[in-house]
Amino acid sequence: MAQNTIYVLGLETSCDETAAAIVEMQLREGRVDGTGRVLSNQILSQIETHAPYGGVVPELAARAHLSHLDRLIAMAFKEADCTPDDMDAIAATAGPGLIGGLLIGLTTGKALALAAQKPFIGVNHLEGHALSARLTEQVEFPYLLLLVSGGHCQLLSVNGLDDYSLLGQTLDDAVGEAYDKAAKMMSLDYPGGPEIERRARHGDRRAYDLPRPLVSDKNPSCDFSFSGLKTALRQAAEKAAPLDDTKVANLAASFEAAVGDCLVAQTGHAMRRFRQVNGRPGDTLSLVVAGGVAANLYLRERLKKAAEVENFTLFVPPPALCTDNAAMIARAGAERFAAGLVKTRPMATIARARWPLDK
């Protein structure tokens, strides 16, 4: 294999997707060059395992990772037509996430690296999401990142690899978590995000008057809060009971409109703050939206318009790379490997349930 091409295996087991992927990246002057190629992207969703419980059951998730990870790795090598010996590095999510699942991916990754005598890289799952847009688009640093997933809702300035500054974050629930809880209130299936999006398409977005917490032009903030919106939705659903398809569609649409307003308003403030540091008035800057909630087409459209107003170009990965996957972990591992950001004692990497991206 050519010298300036690297191959990295990535493993992802932090929540309810078991995943293994192999990426091929070109290097130039010690940095990855271009988007590279995803040679295999194996994902096994555990949705059916957890759906009866309305949320992820950590013990069941860990057992499922244990049962399936080895097979997914073998499938990834087969599809990419390579072996562990062809890898330049092996990467696995080391946190944040559910500790049982993390330990399985991390230990498997370390064992493979040890057996094949390859460098091992423990990757921050949030860094995987943060860099995921670079799998398909040439997005250069610095860029503004809106990270919206089941566990996080943050606005960050991505100044470079391993260089993040937090501009704002949720004070209570993550946005994906709010979607999942809202779906439960309306007896919709887990995970709630895709289900609410589907129902909302047929609903009236102004049917219910729901709050937009922390949204204000007088006190511009880049923080979010979704617990008040969730309570207001519960009260509206109780008042409207018994719920039929039309009421559910209207509740879902009104909820989604409120979430959209919150994301647009706070991201707007963040774009203006980001421009003060990174650009002049006429410059076109970049906004990346990543994480599972970024798969939502209504929210993507709202954010695209908001970005245009502020002269930002919006980059959002394709939906399959927004939700958890191992291609983004392999990609983050490849970027770290290329930049020489490999720990001196990688086998001492520990699993971390909490691991903020900014220092």
Q: Which residues bind ligand KG4 (CB under 6 A)?
A: 15, 149-151, 176-177, 179-180, 191-194, 197, 291-293, 295-296, 323-324
- Residue 268 interacting entry, from Zn ion, ligand KG4, none, C-beta within 5 to 8 Å by type: none
Q: Which of 145, 87, 76 is nearest to 119 (CA)?
A: 87
Output 256 or 324, the one with its CB closest to Zn ion. 324
Q: What angle do CA 73, 77, 79 make, to 5 degrees?
A: 115
All residues at 6 or more sequence positions from 300 whose CB lies less than 8 Å from its CB, including other chains: 289, 294, 314, 316
Task: Determine the distance from the C-alpha atom of residue 257 to the mean position of all C-alpha atoms in its chain, rounded to a whole number.
Answer: 21
Dist. CA 75–CA 203, nearest whole Å? 42
**What three-state secondary structure class fits 25?**
strand
Nearest approach, Cβ of 35 to Zn ion (angstroms)? 20
Cβ pair 92, 329 in contact under 8 A: yes
Dist. CA 317–CA 328, nearest whole Å? 10
Indicate whether 13 belongs to the interface with Zn ion (CB under 5 A).
no
Indicate whether 324 belongs to the interface with Zn ion (CB under 5 A).
yes
Nearest approach, Cβ of 27 to ligand KG4 (angstroms)? 28
Nearest approach, Cβ of 31 to ligand KG4 (angstroms)? 26
Dist. CA 290–CA 17, nearest whole Å? 17
Indicate whether 93 belongs to the interface with Zn ion (CB under 5 A).
no
Output 128 or 213, the one with its CB closest to Zn ion. 128
Indicate whether 296 belongs to the interface with Zn ion (CB under 5 A).
no
- Residue 41 interacting entry, from Zn ion, ligand KG4, none, C-beta within 5 to 8 Å by type: none
Site for Zn ion in 248-267 (CB under 5 A): none
What are the C-alpha distances in Å from 234 to residues 42, 54, 239?
37, 16, 9
175-201: string of b/e by CB count within 10 Å (b at 16+)? bbbbbbbbbebbebebbbbbbbbebbe
Work out which of 13, 40, 124, 149 binds Zn ion, going by CB under 5 A: 149
Indicate whether 180 belongs to the interface with Zn ion (CB under 5 A).
no
Output 95 or 292, the one with its CB closest to ligand KG4. 292
Dist. CA 11–CA 86, nearest whole Å? 16
Could you tell me which stretch among 160-168, 226-234, 240-248, 324-332 binds Zn ion (CB under 5 A)? 324-332
- Residue 180 interacting entry, from ligand KG4, Zn ion, none, C-beta within 5 to 8 Å by type: ligand KG4
- Residue 100 interacting entry, from Zn ion, ligand KG4, none, C-beta within 5 to 8 Å by type: none
Nearest approach, Cβ of 320 to ligand KG4 (angstroms)? 10
Dist. CA 9–CA 20, nearest whole Å? 7
Nearest approach, Cβ of 149 to Zn ion (angstroms)? 4
Sign, Cα dihedral of 240, 246, 250, 256: positive
Indicate whether 173 belongs to the interface with Zn ion (CB under 5 A).
no
Question: What's the one-letter identity of residue 95?
Answer: G
Question: What's the one-letter identity of residue 54?
Answer: G
Nearest approach, Cβ of 335 to Zn ion (angstroms)? 17
Where on the chain is the footprint of Zn ion (CB under 5 A)? 149, 324
